Structure 1
Amino acid sequence: MTQPQQHEPTRWTRERLLAISSSYQKACVLTAAADLDLFAQIGSDAVTAESLAESAHLDARAVAVILDALTAIGLLERTGCEYRNHPDVAASLTHDGPGGVRAIVRHHGSCMRRWAQLAHVARTGHCAERVPSVRGPEADHESFILAMDNVNAPIAPMVLDDLEPLAGTCLLDVGGGSGTWMKAFLERHPQATGMIFDLPEVIPMAQTRMDNTGLSERVRCVAGNYLTDPIPSGSDLALLSAVIHQNSRAQIRTLFANVAGALNPGGRILIRDVIMKPDRIEPEYGALFAVNMLVSTAGGGTYTFDEISDDLTEAGFKGIEVAREDTNMNSVVSAHI
């Protein structure tokens, strides 16, 4: 009989513990540089700290310290007193377009400002105060929406591949953001149409994306709150991509019921999110993401398949199954009405 594999217990040395507690340092330098847009201002040029501080209207001492730190961790290169972007940085941290990660790095900065309040959240039972970046709250929200595109655009085709065949003539993308998943779906299904339903401040970004990708004639962008406003009806396939973790169980039941009421008879729902094991410590990604929801929302979290299944059943869905399993946000639960 094969013996179960034994794993060596983790040995938490002083050095490993301190490596975790000091890991904020590199992250803070990177996110500050992204918020100040230093990488884009350097561009393809070689600049001195003094000239960059002057052109960006920043403190010269602070800029010199930040540029040296960025050089020390390898994001910049320095010759004499002149700094250049590392080639990889120039390709990814100077823009928010395809291949760019500037928006998600900026969003991580917003997350860190909330995570830093975790002990206070534990004492008060209230989510963290939203402290804006130097760019302001509206720019932070735009970065969040763009960040979701940074993350999802490369993986959406792969996830949809695993879910085919996706029978449906009209996709309802609830909380669809700027339309990343809608774009990927419609490019795969040229005869299909779609509806993006999201908050009023998000819909202009979705409409712009649909216009710029030539899909606006096939997509209707509708503003509303999925918990309190009527969800547009007439679809046979609904997608909730990275939506349920923002909500409490009670809110999720309301959301599922609202989607069920909007779907055509026999319509299918796809829920893309992290799915926790019953012990709630696996996957590790989900256990840590639950902390993100603790500091960011009044009742959000990460959920097990049984919890998701129970809430779908209460809303009238059946045939509930895990259509795709992953260790991060790309697991998918499927059901039909």
Structure 2
Amino acid sequence: MDPSSLKELVYAFQKSRILLTGFELDIFTQIDESGATSEQLAVKLQVDHHACDRLLNALASLGFLEKHNQRFFNTADSFNLLSRKGSQYQGGLMHSNHLWDSWSQLTTVVESGVPAHSTQINVRGQDWLSAFITAMHDRAIKQAPQQLAHLDLADVKTVLDVGGGSGAYSMELIRKKPEISATVFDLPNVVPITNEFIRKEGFREKIKTYTGDYTKDDLPEGFDLVFLSAIIHSNPLETNQQLIKKCFKALNNKGQIIIQDWIMNDERTEPTTGAIFAINMLVGTDGGDCFTEQEVSDMLTTAGFKQIQRKELDAGLSQIIAQKM
């Protein structure tokens, strides 16, 4: 690495922050087809005119806006992706603003070992929660078809989607095999959001919801498949050990569990996406981490699972699949 590339990496946060602030202020929605001056937008947004003008200029310089005769316009891409009126509006980006707040305190977190904010989802507020579930949904609906393509669902009729959020993976499983009925298990303040996604996607007859806290409550029983996507990284090892035991109890005989997550090598340096995400868990959770294959296998074996296998996915993700015999 030379000094130039080092500086490029160090200052990359500036471009990200400019875009995230524009998104947070909802600038792209406020600009209609006729464009707007910085003064007009400052009035709409109730922000300082000079500061707004400089932000808009930077967004234009980065290619997120166009500027003609002192008026700012959305590009086709910015309207499509960043305006609430766009067909592919990326509402989940608001979660990135929340991550920014946590990551900005990384040095303090490393010094103290204490997360940047309260780790209790129930106290983070509905705005944070809605942005988080939306971000997870946007990611899952894009990735699920490929991630679930290889699964053998021949003997699967019932699915328990633990911490399933929007229900995106349950939806994809049903698309793969319409005879499946799924149940999404999640927290009391998440389930109303889940039900709204289920209604919007047209799965009300196929997906049920079950309210509970897997750290305290037992899971419902009688399932052929228990699916945990992006769940174990949120918890300390001991919590996961208890959760996997609850999953074993929830399954019918010969049922299977699928754990989808970043699974680390023994040195915890690969995959890189997992090593970086472990930092996300460091700043945002109380004991969350990205676990090694040996650690996950030990959890499963202790709970009574057999025939443990690993399947590699894109972006450094893996699936650990095991059977209840």
Instruction: Work out whether the TM-score is over 0.5.
Output: yes
Cα distance between partner residues in 1 of 2:315 and 2:36 = 42
Cα distance between partner residues in 1 of 2:154 and 2:86 = 28
Cα distance between partner residues in 2 of 1:98 and 1:219 = 26
Q: Which amino acid in structure 2 is aligned with residue 161 of structure 1?
A: A
Mapping for residues 65-104 of structure 1, pairs under 5 Å: 65-95=54-84, 99-103=88-92
Q: In structure 2, what is the equivalent of residue 3 of structure 1?
A: none
Which of 313, 320, 323 is the aligned partner of 1:333? 320
Which of 168, 173, 183 is the aligned partner of 1:195? 183
> Cα distance 1:108–1:129, how it changes in 2: closer, same or farther (>3 A)?
same
Q: In structure 2, what is the equivalent of residue 275 of structure 1?
A: 263
Cα distance between partner residues in 1 of 2:207 and 2:18 = 40
Q: In structure 2, what is the equivalent of residue 8 of structure 1?
A: none
Is the Cα contact below 8 Å between 1:43 and 1:94 reproduced in 2? Answer: no
> Cα distance 1:243–1:143, how it changes in 2: closer, same or farther (>3 A)?
same
Mapping for residues 230-245 of structure 1, pairs under 5 Å: 230-245=218-233
Unaligned runs of at least 5 residues, structure 1 = 1-11
Q: Which amino acid in structure 2 is aligned with residue 173 of structure 1?
A: D
Mapping for residues 145-156 of structure 1, pairs under 5 Å: 145-156=133-144
Cα distance between partner residues in 2 of 1:28 and 1:204 = 31
Asked if 1:50 corresponds to 2:32, the answer is no
Cα distance between partner residues in 1 of 2:175 and 2:72 = 42
Q: Secondary structure at the match of 2:246?
A: helix
Q: Which amino acid in structure 2 is aligned with residue 23 of structure 1?
A: A
> Cα distance 1:157–1:325, how it changes in 2: closer, same or farther (>3 A)?
closer
1:191 Cα deviation from its structure 2 partner? 1.1
What is the number of equivalent residue pairs in this alignment? 320
Unaligned runs of at least 5 residues, structure 2 = none
Q: Which amino acid in structure 1 is aligned with residue 66 of structure 2?
A: E
Q: In structure 2, what is the equivalent of residue 107 of structure 1?
A: 95
> Cα distance 1:272–1:97, how it changes in 2: closer, same or farther (>3 A)?
farther
Q: In structure 2, what is the equivalent of residue 247 of structure 1?
A: 235
Is the Cα contact below 8 Å between 1:34 and 1:102 reproduced in 2? Answer: no
Is the Cα contact below 8 Å between 1:246 and 1:300 reproduced in 2? Answer: yes
Q: Deviations over 1:169-211 (max 9, x none)?
A: 0110000001111111112211110100011111011111222
> Which stretches of structure 1, 4 residues or more, deviate above 4 A after TM superposition?
none
The percent of aligned pairs where both chains have the same amino acid is: 34
Q: Secondary structure at the match of 1:212?
A: helix
Farther off after superposition, 14-23 or 308-317: 14-23
Asked if 1:213 corresponds to 2:204, the answer is no
Q: In structure 1, what is the equivalent of residue 20 of structure 2?
A: 31
Q: In structure 2, what is the equivalent of residue 162 of structure 1?
A: 150
Farther off after superposition, 35-44 or 170-179: 35-44
Q: In structure 1, what is the equivalent of residue 130 of structure 2?
A: 142
Is the Cα contact below 8 Å between 2:233 and 2:289 reproduced in 1? Answer: yes
> Cα distance 1:110–1:96, how it changes in 2: closer, same or farther (>3 A)?
farther
Is the Cα contact below 8 Å between 1:48 and 1:83 reproduced in 2? Answer: yes
Q: Which amino acid in structure 1 is aligned with residue 323 of structure 2?
A: H
